[in-house]
Amino acid sequence: MQEKRYTIEELAEATGFSVRTIRYYIQEGLLDPPPGRGRGGYYIDSHLQRLRQIKTLQEQGLKLSSIEQVLRKGQGPEIHGERDLWVRYSIQPGVEIHVSREVEEQERRSVLEIIKIARSILQSGGR
């Protein structure tokens, strides 16, 4: 059975994103480019699923930079709780750092530096 094909307009209608936004996500690497070129380009179910995933993460309060980490690394921040939102960073199996969303947004660079240092320390065996 052949996978369903979508035009960019159909994707936009199905997800609520504008055509321009979808093209931006492709440009930024958040969404794979369509198979084919020009008018022959088409989108498939995996594109639709990825856009729905982005929409869900946005609705949870994640900014695009955090969504990019979640999608690219699979180990980026995850939001927990509804009122008191925290961002969870997986350092290695069994080790996590939790940062309030407010601090994560205000001190993004510092938080990412802390994550980088923590991973480095654990990878080197604490030396």
Count the neighbouring beta carbons within 10 Å of the beta carbon of residue 87: 22
Give the pLDDT confidence score for residue 75 in this predicted structure.
Answer: 46
Domain count, the chain: 2
Domain shared by 43 and 87, yes or no: no
* Cα 107 to Cα 110: distance, rounded to the nearest angstrom: 5
Taking only the tens place, the pLDDT of each residue in 71-121 is 776 544 454 444 457 777 888 888 888 888 778 778 888 888 898 898 889
Domain shared by 42 and 100, yes or no: no
Domain shared by 88 and 124, yes or no: yes
Give me the mean pLDDT over the 8-34 stretch.
92
Query: Which of the listed residues 59, 75, 97 is the one where a domain comes to its end?
Result: 59
Domain shared by 45 and 102, yes or no: no
Domain shared by 17 and 52, yes or no: yes
CATH number at 4 reads: 1.10.1660.10
Structural domain harbouring 40:
1-59
Domain shared by 47 and 11, yes or no: yes
Query: Which of the listed residues 42, 59, 76 is the one where a domain comes to its end?
Result: 59
Query: Which of the listed residues 59, 74, 99 is the one where a domain comes to its end?
Result: 59
* 17 — pLDDT class (breaks 50, 70, 90): very high
C-alpha distances out from residue 106 to 102, 103, 112, 114, 119, Å: 6, 5, 12, 14, 22
